[in-house]
Structure 1
Amino acid sequence: MPSYEICLLFKALPKLQLKECLKRTANQIFESGGFIRRIDNLGTQSTPWKINSHDAIYKQASYFIVEFDVPSSALVSFNNYLSRDIDVIKRTIIKVPENTPQPACTLHEELKPPAYRAEVKEMIAIGKRKREREARKKVQFNTGLDYMPFQR
């Protein structure tokens, strides 16, 4: 089963009602044949902009991130369920890439001065390539003349 991550924005509700909303969402995941790996509560915060959902405008929401595994065939019905749920203001489902290798970090590498680290050298090389590309794109007019011949 593929892993997914969903960012849920619930209405700013009291804890008991918020718990019921989260329980309904979790039960829907379980009914579709999935299981939950992790639930993160990010708290109640102001939204970056006004969100219009279910004929109401919301400026505050309770943020949750749920990591779960579910068959991909059940994802459409789960998304439809969330779109009908009145307490869910916004939802975003993202597929989590499998087995992403983490770069090896050693203390010896981190103690080096920045100019000697491999990743910094790579960033410097990328910056040089960008500057070279921009320099090639520039068109220089009237090189060798110290005045503009067609302007008075």
Structure 2
Amino acid sequence: MLYELLAAVRPGSLMEIKEVIKTVGMQVISNGGVIRGINNWDTTFLPKKVRKHQATHTMGHYFLMRFDCDPSTQKIVRETLGVDPRMLKFSVVKMGNGKLDDISRVSGNCGWFR
């Protein structure tokens, strides 16, 4: 199935953001999935203040990742991101029901942003 992950990482060093993306990507690939694309959206304001790990955040570094995997791998990704202290917010959305005709035309880039 095709999924889209939109995540906000606490702003800081670019290495932290790369490590989070690498962790998610390696989980998808090691469980037989495919990464369709990764878009870096840079640091911007969060819609509202987020209190996480005894700190209040107003800014977050956003990235979007599209990937194909089975539902159990998607669950592993969600569980991993849920316990990662660098993550502020994330959302995983199913974009297709798994039929090749439905997801073959979806690219790795997100056309609705910018």
The TM-score, its normalising length taken from structure 1, stands at 0.60
Contact 1:5 1:96 in 2 (8 A): yes
The one of the two structures with greater contact order (alpha-carbon pairs below 8 A, sep at least 6) is: 2
- Corresponding residue number in structure 2 for 1:73: 72
Superposition deviation, residue 97 in structure 1:
2.8
Higher fraction of strand: 2
CA pair 94-37 structure 1, distance change in 2 beyond 3 A: same
- Corresponding residue number in structure 2 for 1:63: 62
- SS of 1:97's partner is coil
Q: Does residue 42 of structure 1 match 2:41?
A: yes
Alpha-carbon distance in structure 2 between the residues aligned to 1:81 and 1:55: 20
Name stretches of at least 5 consecutive residues in structure 2 with no aligned partner: 106-114
- Corresponding residue number in structure 2 for 1:17: 16
Larger CA Rg, structure 1 vs 2: 1
Alpha-carbon distance in structure 1 between the residues aligned to 2:72 and 2:52: 26
CA pair 96-44 structure 1, distance change in 2 beyond 3 A: same
- Corresponding residue number in structure 2 for 1:93: 92
Instruction: Tell me the number of residue pairs that the alignment of Structure 1 and Structure 2 aligns.
Output: 100
Contact 2:27 2:73 in 1 (8 A): no
RMSD over aligned Cα, in angstroms? 1.9
Contact 1:8 1:91 in 2 (8 A): yes
Higher fraction of helix: 1
- SS of 2:56's partner is strand
Name stretches of at least 5 consecutive residues in structure 1 with no aligned partner: 103-152
1:50 is aligned with what amino acid?
K
1:21 is aligned with what amino acid?
V
Q: 1:131-150 counterparts in 2 under 5 A?
A: none
Q: Deviations over 1:106-136 (max 9, x none)?
A: xxxxxxxxxxxxxxxxxxxxxxxxxxxxxxx
- SS of 2:12's partner is coil
